[in-house]
Amino acid sequence: MSTHRLAVRKLLGGPELTPADLTMTFLVRDDDESPGGRPMPTFSVAELPEAVRALDDLGVRSGKLFAGSRIRDDRASQADSPTGLMSRAIRAIKKARPAFTVITENCLCSHALSGECWLADLRGGIDLDESREVIATQALTHAEAGADIVGPASMIPGSVKLVRDALDAAGHQGVLLMPHLIFDSGLYEGYRTTMEASPASGTRSFQLDPRQPEEAIRTAFAFVDEGADAILLEPALFTVDTLVALKGILPVPVMPFSVSGEYSRLTERRTDGTLDVGPLAESYTVLKRSGAKRIITYAAREITEILTP
């Protein structure tokens, strides 16, 4: 009888979480850098092709890339380098699996000496114009390397439009935009430590106050008006209410990003060295039923392996 009941549950249940629902997060390091001492898993450029082929074979069709600069200065001068770490990572993936969708993070925090998402003016304030210009040229560099989707992450007003205009002017109309809609949270520290992207000011100036979801709705619509094709929402599990609200009114898909703090708190390393991702996978079912188009995660491979035993 219990077997029949399980069969009925499967028959009547909603859509299940599948590998194609997941987008893998890649924190990229240089080939000569050690992976040790970092709270989050990283990949060298040389390791990316094998990792992508394995994911693609399992049914995960996309990856979100984060990469910084070894040389950093006050102007984030290496952020738009065509030979930088991000460009090399994009090319390595596209050479291995051309159809694998590459999504980039488009920001200054891992390239500026300050760790901020913006550049300072002569008085130490935020230079909005220069910050937007560098972000736009950085996005263009990603597109030239082969990125399918760029992700403006600074949330600087007007930056999404400037990126769209730069891409269109250079003939990259087919490259999509997925800006980050970010709530201020303590769940980003694992990422910031790994990528050495902690802001000198102690805070991200343009991130949203989690007590004001209405501002998130207004910002999401502003992004769409500026040319966004999708919205990345983070942290995933603490913004489910906003995901549900946006799903009903926004004309583009919403993709929650399950951030480093969620990964570290909802996984556990077993004694044999494997990673127990059961609770994390369970939480993604919540995201999918709440309207997530895709879920961006550090644990795409481990979750896929339990979805497809």
Side chain identity, residue 34 = S
Closest CA relative to residue 67, chosen from 102, 105, 100, 12? 105
User: 278-289 and 300-307 are packed helices; what angle lies between their axes, rounded to 10 degrees?
Assistant: 90
Closest CA relative to residue 131, chosen from 111, 145, 104? 111
Q: Which residues of 9-35 are buried (b: 16+ CB within 10 A; e: fewer)?
A: eeeeeeeebebebbbbbbbbbeeeeee
Residue 244 falls in which region: left (phi positive, over 0), alpha (psi -120 to 50) or beta: alpha
Is position 107 annotated in a ligand binding site?
A: yes
The DSSP code for 84 is: S
Closest CA relative to residue 102, chosen from 69, 136, 143? 143
**Those residues with Cβ within 8 angstroms of residue 114's Cβ, 6 or more apart along the chain or in another chain:** 74, 120, 199, 200, 201
How far is 175 from 60, CA to CA, in rounded Å? Answer: 20
Side chain identity, residue 135 = I
Is position 13 annotated in a ligand binding site?
A: no
Q: Strand 254-256's sheet: what is its strand order?
A: 180-182, 231-234, 254-256
How far is 64 from 10, CA to CA, in rounded Å? Answer: 32
Alpha helices (H) along the chain: 2-12, 48-58, 85-96, 128-145, 159-169, 189-195, 213-226, 240-249, 260-265, 278-289, 300-307
Binding site for Zn(2+), by residue number, is: 107, 109, 117
Residues annotated as binding site?
A: 107, 109, 117
